[in-house]
Structure 1
């Protein structure tokens, strides 16, 4: 069965769940910009699925991916650095206490940059799945307190390290998402693939093989 047919079948199934009331907004709490959150809940919109993949960084370069999650008031973040072959350089998990999703996304990015800076990893692309955060980092305009200090630290480190911050679709950021949601017993940095949570290990291998994920785009009729 071709990937296109599989995508269409999965999309139809999810749409039926949404129309039947089996998908609720609260099921996506902490992931406000997730495309799945509103899928199948508005019959006036046409849903167009497409395949998205995580792209390898250029040869002799690396890429940082980070993500965050807020569940029951607890904000957590995670991320990883990979080589141009998709191999793990290091990964991390960290808890941030009580804060909103955007703040947690910014703190996860900052933590990833700090860890890279400490290891003298320079001149790379950092990807996050919050387009709002990317715009705020790229802008010199004011931000709401207390996020302003975190943004200033991100901007300073990015400038010192020659890092550009870019947006990636959530569905292509699955390893960082798995790390952010892993909830181990304590914060940590992992340098060996076997140390990663099982879900993160699986997602890492799928990215190395360029296996696509399904992204659902919505278009009004």
Structure 2
């Protein structure tokens, strides 16, 4: 707003509320170096104690699907569902004999726990101990990412929250919209984050 406009607004005793805008960031899913594998996991809960599910997808350095899962967890909190999704994703890596994995999640809480090796909730300790064992076995690293870079896992999670369950070993058995997101990730099309 220009100086004259501001002066008129002040004379008329109209409140002036400045509008601030956040810069928009371009967020992309990024592949790893040749020979490396990435597991993206996510959780979802309809209410923070509600129908919960998790999903995850394993991709190689080209972005090609190696495997993935959609699981339902009954009624649970977001934290329980996220912990279960990490567990299920690592279990899938073990089943497929996939090692040296980077796990990405948009859960700051879970990634923080994984970095410190400490789970704060006693009722998750059984899962947590198994997760720690698989982390050592599979040479796993963890990284927090924005939700926009985790859209494929987010779509899979929504299916899990709707009581759908499946494991898959390639992209052919994945819902069309999710296959489209996988293609967009492969070509590096960015998502917008405010």
Tell me the alpha carbon deviations over residues 113-170 of structure 1, each in whole angstroms, 9 at most, x when there is no partner: 0011112111110111101111111214451121222222212211111001111110
Could you tell me how far apart the structure 2 residues matched to 1:45 and 1:100 are?
Answer: 34
Aligned residue in 1 for 2:74:
97
Unaligned regions of 5+ residues in structure 1, if any? Answer: 1-42, 217-221
What is the CA distance between 1:185 and its match in structure 2?
6.4
Aligned residue in 1 for 2:176:
198
TM-score by length of 2: 0.83
Aligned residue in 2 for 1:58:
33
TM-score by length of 1: 0.74
**TM alignment of 1:121-160, pairs within 5 A:** 121-141=98-118, 143-160=120-137
Q: 1:165 aligns with which of 112, 126, 142?
A: 142
Query: Larger Rg: 1 or 2?
Result: 2
Could you tell me how far apart the structure 2 residues matched to 1:185 and 1:144 are?
Answer: 25
Q: 1:178 aligns with which of 155, 169, 183?
A: 155
Aligned residue in 2 for 1:112:
89
Could you tell me how far apart the structure 2 residues matched to 1:96 and 1:137 are?
Answer: 21
| Structure 1 runs of 4+ with >6 Å offset | none
Alignment CA distance shift 1:142-1:171 (3 Å): closer
Could you tell me how far apart the structure 1 residues matched to 2:174 and 2:155 are?
Answer: 10
Aligned residue in 2 for 1:84:
61
- Counterpart secondary structure, 2:152: helix
Alignment CA distance shift 1:186-1:52 (3 Å): closer
- Counterpart secondary structure, 1:68: strand
Instruction: Using CA pairs under 8 Å that are at least 6 residues apart, name the structure with larger relative contact order, 1 or 2.
Output: 2
Contact 2:53 2:163 in 1 (8 A): no
Q: What is the RMSD of the two structures over their aligned residues, measured on CA atoms? A: 1.8
Aligned residue in 1 for 2:4:
none
Unaligned regions of 5+ residues in structure 2, if any? Answer: 1-17
Could you tell me how far apart the structure 1 residues matched to 2:117 and 2:103 are?
Answer: 18
Contact 1:182 1:197 in 2 (8 A): no
